[in-house]
Every structure is written in structure tokens, then in C-alpha cells.
Amino acid sequence: MRQVLGPVRGRLLTATVLQAAGSVVGTVALIVLAELGARAADAATGGSPVGRAEVVASVGWAGAALLAAAVLVGAATTVSHLADSDLQLSLRARLVDRLSRVRLGWFAGTDAGRVKKAVQDDTGSMHHLVAHALLDAVGAVTVPVTVLVYLLATRPLLGLPLLVLVVVAVWTFQATMRGSGQRMAEFGRRMAELNGAAVETVECIDVVRLYARRGGQARRLEQAGEDFHGFFRSWVGQTSTTTAVAFVLALPLTAILVVVLTAVGLVAAGLTDVAAVVPVLVPAVVLAPLCTAPVSTVGTRLPALRSGMAAAASVQEVLDLPTMPTPGRATAEPDGHGLRLEDVTFGYDAERPVLHEVSFGCEPGTVTAVVGASGAGKSTLAALLARFEDVDSGRITLGGVDLRDLTTEQLYARVGFVFQDVVLLRGSVHDAVACGRPGVGREDVVAAARSAGIHDRVLAEPRGYDAEIGRDVEFSQGEAQRISVARALLADTPVLVLDEATAYADAESEAHVQRALSHLARGRTVVVVAHRLSTVRHVDQIVVLDDGRVVQRGTHDELLTDDAGRYAALWRAHGHDGATGADAEPMEARS
């Protein structure tokens, strides 16, 4: 938590000091009025009368103290809320920055609910910790201490029973909270599981509805809810009795009863008389509730404090995730745009490599297709080329420079990527196409959309290119893929990696998209991950992967001459008997 709160620690310390000072000054104001009440009680039982000047002075001092307390507490609240606002902005920016540099493999093995919990829920939970709970706890400790010090100094026989009551109440609350740190951690874990199940259920709602009667994802959400309910019910059941006792001990009425019964006992024992005890009793009765009431406040705030601390720990876990190292400044400039893989080995799990000592080169102005059966490692290889992951051994170079030695700006100014699964961020259609070149004119966006075969679809919307994705228009996966192609056309990078860029295109538009990709490939270094072999028959080089290893390389015709080879087997598996036959217009190798 110290690291998370580091940017605002100084301001929180200032707010804490201001809150403590305000609490002490406010308590002093009540003490002054309580002493005035004691003087009035003494006068009523035969003591000297209270003068008007004494009343005016006491009320004046109390009023001044209350005003000062209000200023101090108000300043503490302002400082803490400003600190919280800055911390919220800083944390979310740091989390987004960290997540943008984390290996993509981490996301593959992590529930979306955990990311959502860290960025939204946990960061939001810290608002109460920073802006409220900390100051409340300071006030809840400062006020009783001030009152007890005053009563023990001026009325020790009444102050001691109150001190005992406070100690017992605090001990009972501690017993109630014992082990809550582990429980809060478990609470956060189960809540993350529930969030993850809920998010996945919403994302897959069509599948859930279709197969709801067979269990699956719907059952996972139900089970997560049942687990959370069982855990929370058990926690409450174990602490309900001690919690009730603690709150009874901390009631203001309990403190008043202790003081009054103590005074009655003193009179009954003959240690004092009624006339003497009343002036002593009045301030104690007035101030006694301030000794125990804040204890219950601490009890109610403690879970919030622990929750905030657990949230801070969860946020810190994400901030501590290892990132892919990137040089802070350019140390080398690529000489051209040729790609080369040299003995590349990689696995999402170090014990189970996906790729084994893969080596091949891609020259500028050529198209290389990577083919293989499902699970052969094609998409993983594409992700390495775009440096979404780092190799475990070997290296990948661009223009002779290791990708790991290029800055993010250097790399992505040269390497473009068209995903198989496209996600369009909320915003206008124009922005979706132009995200690789912010500020580009509408004419260039339209030209790219025309080339990708999506222009007419966009114009079918009333707002055209100004339509908001997700609000004004929803695109199918095939349409989203064409927008992704348009984005790549507009970005105009010299190296292009295509991960089955027509996977979701319908028959009517696939030929159009293939022509756009052929246009896009001219003069560039292009790597195509292909599932339909007929679309890459005319590329310059085909690399065949099998179980993460390169088993063949060559052109389409060369590879088919080896009838026993892996490529020929894949070609036959696609329903082709000879060297021809296509289910879509092929991508051309050169212009």
C-alpha cells in the first residue's frame, strides 16, 4: 500500500495532522461548555453563582474553538479529496500503461474480471480509504484520547471506569476483526471470480442461452455466486455475536451508565455526597459518549480500511506485473525492412514451447505465407513478429536490428498488423479507420475504406463516417475485418503481418478484400498467416509449420512436388487434387 499511496503520501500526512488538530480543538470546545455546566451545577447545589462574564467568556471560547475545528476539518477533507482525485487519475493511467506493456500471454490466462476489478473496482474502493476512512479513523482515535486524558486528569474516579470500558470495547472489536485480513483477501479473490464469470457470461450470452440447460458457463456463474454467498455467510456467522457485544459496549448510553453507576457507587460507599458529586458528574456525563461512540466508528471503518488496503494490494499486484522491456530511446535504425527469424523458440509456458528453433527470412517486396494445421503455432509466430510477445531464445530482426532493441515508436511505425479477431473501440467509424494516423483527412479515410470494400456499408448508415460504433452502428465480424484492412491501408507501414485477414469475410466481399490486400502488399514485406491455402498459391514463399517446427519451405508448386510432404497433405485435406483450384481470389506476390 505504501507504494500505491506514494504519490499522495505527503498530502495524506498533512490531512491527517489537520484532522487530528481539528478533532482536538472541537473536543476542547465541548470541554469548555461541559465545565460551564459543572459551574452551573455547583451553583445550584450551594456553590458560588455563575457570573455573566464567565458565561460569555466560556461561550465565546467554545464558539471560537468550534469555528477553528470546522476550518481544520474542512481543510483536511479538502486536501484528502484532492489527493484522492489525483491518485485515481494517476493509478488508472499507471494501470493502463502497465497493462499495455504486459505480455499478451498474461491476458490469455487471466479472467477479464480481474482486469476490470483492478482498473475500476479496486481503484474506486481506494476512494473511501484515501478521502474518508483514514480521516474518520484519525478522528475516532483522537477524540476519545483527548476526553480520557482530560477526565483522568480532572476526575480520575470517573475516568478510570471509562478507560476500562474503552479498553474492553476495543479488545472486543479486535476479536471481531481477528483474521479479517485473510478474509478480506479471500473476499477479493471470490469477488474477482464472480466478476470474471459475470463478464464472460455477458460476452457469451448467445452460447449461454443456447446451452443453458446443459450447464456450462451459466453453471459457472451460478457456482461462483453460490461460493461467494457461502463464504460471506460463514464469515458473518462467525463474527455476529462478538460484533453485537462490541457495539453494545460502544453505545453512548453504556458510557453514561458506567459514569452514573460509578457516581452512585461513590455516594453509596460514603466517599462523597450528592452535592459534591453532581458538579463532578455533569461534565463526565456530557463527555462520556465521546469516549466510546468513536470506538464503534473505528469498528465500522476498519473493514473499509482493510478493504481499501486489500484493494491497494490488488492494484500493486497489477502494477508489479513484468513488462516487455523496451529501450527508452532509439539506439539503432533498421537498414531496410527485411524480417529474419533466427532459431526462435517460444512458449506461453516455459515448460511447453509452442515454437521450436524456427528460422527463415522475409525479403522486402515479397509475400511469405505461414501455413499449417490448427495448433501448429501460426498465430503465435505472427504475434512474435508484431512483438506482442518476446522470444524465449533466438531473435527476430527487422532491417538487421533485434525487435527488442527498437522503441515502440520505431517498431509500430514500420510494422502493421491485421488481426483475425477484430475488436473495434467505441468512437466514430472515421476514427476507427484513422486510428493509426490521427488527424488524417476524410478523403484518405474514404479511399482506404473503398479499397477495403467497406465504403458502401458505411454510407448505408445515416451518419456515415461520423456514426458511433456501438451506438449508431454495429458491424459484423466480416465488416469489422474490412475496417481493420482499411486501417492497415491507411497506416501504410512497410511491414505487414496478416493473421488470416479474411477469416470472417463473406463470399461476396472476400475477393474484394483479397484485391485490397494484394494492393497493400506491393513493395512491402508481408507475412500472411493462412488457413485457406488457395488464397496464397502465388506468394513468393510458403513456410509450413508442424507442431511448432518449420518442416517445409518453398513456393506452392515446389511444395506440391513432394507428394509425401506436409504441404501436399494439407492441400489435399482442403479438397484440392492438383496444383490449382481456388475458393477465393489469391493474393498476388508482386505488382
Q: What does the DSSP assignment read for 76-105?
A: HHHHHHHHHHHHHHHHHHHHHHHHHHB-HH
If we measure between CA atoms, which residue out of 122, 178, 92, 177 comes closest to residue 313?
A: 122
Burial string for 140-160 (b: 16+ CB within 10 Å, else e) reads: bbbbbbbbbebbeeebebbbe
Q: If DSSP codes are grouped into helix, strand and coil, which group holds residue 346?
A: strand
Which residue carries 502497465 as its cell?
98
Closest CA relative to residue 117, chosen from 322, 311, 316, 323: 311
The model's pLDDT over 314-362, given as tens digits with 9 standing for 90+, comes to 888 888 888 888 787 877 889 889 999 999 999 887 788 999 999 999 9
pLDDT of residue 507: 60
List Cβ neighbours of 562 (8 Å cut-off, separation of 6 or more). Answer: 552, 568
- Chain segment 19-34, per-residue pLDDT in tens: 999 999 999 999 998 8
Q: What is the pLDDT of residue 590?
A: 46
- Nine cell digits for residue 551: 518442416
How many CB atoms are located within 10 Å of the residue 502 CB? 28
Choose the weakest-confidence range: 9-23, 192-206, 548-562: 192-206
CA distance 238 to 353: 47
Which backbone phi and psi does 428 adopt, to 5 degrees?
A: -75, 160
Identify the three-state secondary structure at position 543.
strand
**For residue 76, what pLDDT band results from cuts at 50, 70 and 90?**
very high
Tell me the average pLDDT across 139-164: 90
Question: Is 269 a residue whose pLDDT tops 90?
Answer: no
What the chain holds in terms of domains, given with CATH numbers, is 6-179+242-319 (1.20.1560.10), 339-426+477-484+493-573 (3.40.50.300)
> Which CA distances in Å does 58 have to 35, 39, 153, 288?
9, 11, 20, 20
Mean pLDDT score, 470-499: 86
Q: What integer best gives the mean pLDDT of the chain?
A: 81
Residues 6+ apart with CB under 8 A from 148: 159, 162, 163, 166, 291
For 63, residues 6+ apart whose C-beta sits below 8 A from its C-beta are 29
Contacts of 433 (CB under 8 A, 6+ apart): 445, 448, 449, 465, 483, 486, 487, 490
Per-residue pLDDT for 388 more than 60?
yes
pLDDT at 482: 84
Distance between CA atoms of residues 494 and 233, nearest Å: 60
The strands making up 339-346's β-sheet, listed across from edge to edge, are: 355-362, 339-346, 393-398, 401-402
Give the residue ranges of DSSP H helices in 345-423.
378-385, 408-412
Residue pointed to by grid coordinates 445550584: 44
Share of the chain above pLDDT 90, in %: 25
Q: Return the pLDDT at 28.
A: 92
- Measured CA to CA, the distance from residue 547 to residue 562 in angstroms comes to 19
The pLDDT of residue 19: 94
Looking at the predicted structure, is the pLDDT value of residue 50 above 50? yes
Percent of the chain with pLDDT over 70: 81
Dihedral pair phi/psi, residue 162, rounded to 5°: -65, -40
Cβ–Cβ under 8 Å, residues 286 and 30: yes
SS3 529: strand
Q: Does the structure show a pLDDT above 60 at 578? A: no
pLDDT of residue 71: 96
Beta bridge partners, 553, equal 543
Report, as an integer, the average pLDDT of 430-434.
91
193's grid cell: 471470480
Q: Position 216: which residue type?
A: G
pLDDT at 108: 65
Q: Which span out of 458-467, 527-536, 575-584 was modeled with the highest average pLDDT?
A: 458-467
When pLDDT is cut at 50, 70 and 90, the band that residue 300 belongs to is low
pLDDT digits (tens, 9 = 90+) for 207-234: 555 555 445 555 666 677 777 777 667 6
| Residues contacting residue 544 through CB under 8 Å, at least 6 positions apart | 371, 372, 550, 551, 552, 553, 559, 565, 566, 567, 570
- Amino acid (1-letter code) at residue 7: P
DSSP secondary structure code for residue 444 in this structure: H
- Separate counts of helices (H) and strands (E) for the chain: 22, 12
Residue 149 near residue 31 (C-beta atoms within 8 A): no
Q: Out of 142-156, 216-230, 512-526, which region has the weakest mean confidence (pLDDT)? A: 216-230
| Contact assessment for residue 76 and residue 13, using Cβ atoms and an 8 Å cutoff | no
CA dist 276 and 272 (Å) reads: 6
Residue 527 in this model has a pLDDT that exceeds 70: yes
> What is the chain's length?
591
pLDDT of residue 61: 92
CA distances from 579 to 247, 518, 537, 544 (A): 84, 21, 9, 16
Q: Which of 144, 133, 134 is nearest to 26 (CA)?
A: 144
- Distance from C-alpha of 95 to C-alpha of 119, rounded to nearest angstrom: 7
CA 281 from centre of chain: 55
pLDDT value of residue 492: 84
CA 487 to chain centre: 28
pLDDT above 70 for 566: yes
Average pLDDT score over residue span 572-587: 59
Which tens digit of pLDDT belongs to each residue from 98-128? 887 887 767 766 766 677 777 777 887 777 7
User: What interhelical angle do 274-287 and 289-319 show, nearest 10?
Assistant: 20
Rounded Cα distance, 165 and 214, in Å: 58
How much is the average pLDDT of 192-217? 60
What are the backbone angles phi and psi of residue 551, rounded to the nearest 5°? -105, -20
User: For position 37, what pLDDT does the model report?
Assistant: 84
The DSSP H or E segment spanning 31 is helix 9-44
Q: Higher pLDDT residue, 95 or 271?
A: 95
pLDDT class for 576, splitting at 50, 70, 90? low
Distance CA 268, CA 106 (A): 74
Distance of CA 539 to the CA centre of its chain: 43
- Residue 365's pLDDT is 86
Q: Is the pLDDT of residue 181 over 60?
A: no
What is the Cα–Cα distance from 177 to 472, expressed in whole angstroms?
51
Which helix or strand (DSSP H or E) is residue 493 part of?
A: none
pLDDT 10s digits, 496-516:
888 876 665 566 556 666 666
* pLDDT at residue 383 in the model: 87
Give the pLDDT band of residue 67 (cuts 50, 70, 90): very high
Return the C-alpha cell found at 46.
Answer: 450551594
Residue 468 pLDDT: 93
Is residue 366 pLDDT above 70, yes or no? yes
Chain-centroid distance of CA 579 in Å reads 52
> pLDDT higher for 140 or 273?
140
Q: How far is CA 181 from the centre of its chain?
A: 21
